[in-house]
Amino acid sequence: MRLHYLQHVDFEGLGVIDKWADNNNHQVTKTSLHKKEQLPKTDKFDILIITGGPMNVYQEDRFPWLKQEKEFITEAITDDKLVLGVCLGAQLIADCLGAKVYKNKEKEIGWFNVVNNGSDLLPKEFMAFHWHSDTFDIPNKAINIAESQTCQNQAFSYNSGKVLGLQFHLELTKNNIDDLINECRNEITNDKYVQSEIEIKNNIGYIDQSNALIINMLNTLIEKRR
């Protein structure tokens, strides 16, 4: 399979997905949008992954490349590509599908429980890593597949499961989380659903479960193309 991913900052990439792709001999290419790299034609890849980032989908004035990125994601979905968006990536997909993206009632940073809304892709409940202040409405014809105590719309499935949006992170490795903390430490504030750096690192043992979940999700996604 040919996997292409969109990157918004240097410190947020594929995480464990990179290792999964290598182990399965999937070809990986990327566009670093923040470096003004050129987007490919959609016939150059089979699966598109949209990673996270600290910007918001509605900040096109500060990040002009967001407009082109949204057009590209819309084209990939229209062309029936497999598409997975994580955090900002999920918000971008939601926006492209006509749903509203806006500030969540609470900022959510750290390890928090997620409840499955009936998807066979996820266990009934699981701990996931979160780092977001925005949320999204569920797009028309999409299915809400997960929620948390403070964020009702944590994940959605669209186009018979070929398009997935995850507000939470399952792909991050320990090093990725360290990088995120180092780059965005100013966002760790004294709010109800924001864990301290120590709390985040004390729960790092959930990474293995998270990585296994995203790998299972990707394998299921790939099967829809075969």
Give the tokens for residue 92.
């971008």
Element (H, E) at 225: none
Q: Is the pTM of this model over 0.75?
A: yes
Cβ atoms of residues 68 and 60 within 8 Å: no
Residue 162 makes CB contacts below 8 A (sequence gap 6+) with 80, 81, 82, 83, 221, 224
Query: Would you write out the chain's pLDDT as a tens digit for each of its 226 residues?
Result: 999 999 999 999 999 999 999 999 999 999 999 999 999 999 999 999 999 999 999 999 999 999 999 999 999 999 999 999 999 999 999 999 999 999 999 999 999 999 999 899 999 999 999 999 999 999 999 999 999 999 999 999 999 999 999 999 999 999 999 999 999 999 999 999 999 999 999 999 999 999 999 999 999 999 877 6
Distances in whole angstroms, Cα of residue 127 to Cα of each of 2, 111, 138, 203: 30, 6, 22, 10
Q: Which two tokens stand for residue 119?
A: 């998807």
* Sequence spans of domains, the chain: 2-223
Fold exhibited by the domain 2-223: Rossmann fold (3.40.50)
